[in-house]
Structure 1
Amino acid sequence: MQSLLFDPGVQRIADEVTGPITYEPEVISRELAEKWFNAIRAQADWRSGMRMMYERMVGVPRLHGHYAVEDPAIPPVLLAALSVVKQHVDAPFNSIGLNLYRDEHDSVAPHSDTLHELVAHQPIVLLSLGATRTMTIRRKEPPHLKTELELEAGSLLLMGWNAQLHYDHGIPKLRYPVGPRISVAFRVRSDIQSETWGTR
């Protein structure tokens, strides 16, 4: 199932044909969001990465981490977050990906998730913690309509499996100072041992 189990206050960015993509603010309180942000930032196994750009290796502009839900080393705060998410989204999540945007210079380029790594027709859900960052969501087909969505602390963004076929999404750099943000991504992976982690 890809639909949110709640309706009031849900912002619908894309319909069921090309999505769905839905946004729900204030799923958890600001106080709980801050508590979870601090715990995840302190407890997660953060890693840096490298990528090829313009024929040279450069650092990925954010930190990331990944846990299988059944991993005995998973921080308990992530299981608490999973429990809340499953109250809102009916899906057998088995993977939790993390991205830490340390400041306005960290970002992720427009992209869509790699579908062969995911169980077909299962959703991707992002829980935002920390500073508000803008996500751009752009239709792949002409006229390439774009939405700019402010991802607030304590909010959930749901993207349907098929939305990856029709939309790109990204977090652009900013020209003004902003505090750190953590994105917690819940997925149903077909191979949770894969070292190729999704990025948000």
Structure 2
Amino acid sequence: MVTTHLQSSLFDGVEDIGLRPLAGVERTTLGLGAWIDVLPGWLTGADELFQELVAAVPWHAERRQMYERVVDVPRLLCHYAEGVELPHPVLDEAREELGAYYAEELGEPFRTAGLCYYRDGEDSVAWHGDRIGRGRSQDTMVAILSVGEPRVLALRPRDGGGPAVRRSLGHGDLIVMGGSCQRTWDHAIPKTARGAGPRISIQFRPRGVL
């Protein structure tokens, strides 16, 4: 059984679960052909959605080979393949609106959704890029909607040069990583000892981007 201890936002919980207009997205050019778009508070009622996802999603843990031993992946996961019903209608709406907004740049719709549940500050994901699929060789986009308490998403150039970029995301915030970002930059959710509360990220991807 999954339990949560979410500290509600002072600005959330007064509106129904829904989406604000995508107007106001702010783009930051990272370099090397990569960029990020950020829109704080795109989703309203984010804390309520967080609670519904905790209860409704069939979360599972994974184990991975790490050098000479098998270790637990420090977060819970669930993947929704193309054509599979998402756990809340607002996520279908978000995927459609993102596809329409980025249609000219992306040239294809977002197809899949991956959910990650970071239960506390010990849950994390190491530096990586989504390069298993087409992101290894092509420009693409990954859109991430965050609900629950904020956690830092850090980005740094893959070759190690240049400073890292850090964005605190939660309570309905949106970030979109685009251009060459998956090839030329890595991203991570670092561990934190500051008593971080739970967060869920919903990642929308085009077909063949993993």
TM range (shorter): 0.7 to 0.9
Distance, in Å, in 2 between the alignment partners of 1:39 and 1:126 is 18
Contact 2:22 2:42 in 1 (8 A): no
Structure 1 residues 49 and 168 mapped into 2: Cα distance closer, same or farther (>3 Å)?
same
Aligned to 1:50: 63
What is the identity, as a one-letter code, of the residue corresponding to 1:132? P
Which position in structure 2 is the counterpart of 1:171?
Answer: 189
Match of 2:24 in 1: 8
Selected match of 1:133 from 134, 151, 154: 151
- CA–CA distance in 2 between the matches of 1:10 and 1:181? 23
Separation of aligned partners in 2, 1:100 and 1:184: 9
Unpaired runs of 5+ in structure 1? Answer: 192-197
How many residue pairs end up in the alignment? 184
Instruction: Compare 156-165 and 60-69 and name the one that shifted more.
Output: 156-165
How high is the TM-score relative to the length of structure 1?
Answer: 0.81
How big is the shift at 1:66? 0.6
| RMSD of equivalent CA atoms | 2.4
- Aligned twin of 2:38: 23
Aligned pair partner of 1:34 in 42, 47, 53 = 47
Deviation at 1:70? 1.2
Change beyond 3 A, Cα 1:142–1:130: closer
For 1:103 and 1:13, how far apart are their aligned partners in 2?
31
Q: What is the deviation of 1:51? A: 1.1
- List runs of 5+ in structure 2 lacking aligned partners: 1-20
1:111 shift after superposition: 0.5
Percentage identity across aligned positions?
A: 32
1:194 is matched with none
Equivalent in 95, 100, 109 of residue 92 of structure 1: 109
Q: 1:57 to 1:115 in 2, by over 3 A?
A: closer
Q: Which amino acid aligns with 1:141?
A: D
- Work out which of the residue numbers 92, 98, 108 in structure 2 matches 1:79: 92
Q: Against the structure 1 CA distance between its residues 156 and 28, is the aligned structure 2 distance closer, same or farther, given a 3 Å change threshold?
A: same
- C-alpha distance after superposition, 1:77-125 (max 9, x if no partner): 3324324434543340110000000011100001011252559433110
TM-score (ref. length: structure 2)? 0.77
AA in 2 matched with 1:129? V
TM-superposed CA distance for 1:161, in Å, is: 4.7
Partner of 1:109: 126
Distance between the aligned counterparts of 1:161 and 1:47, measured in 2? Answer: 31
| Residue identity matched to 2:24 | P
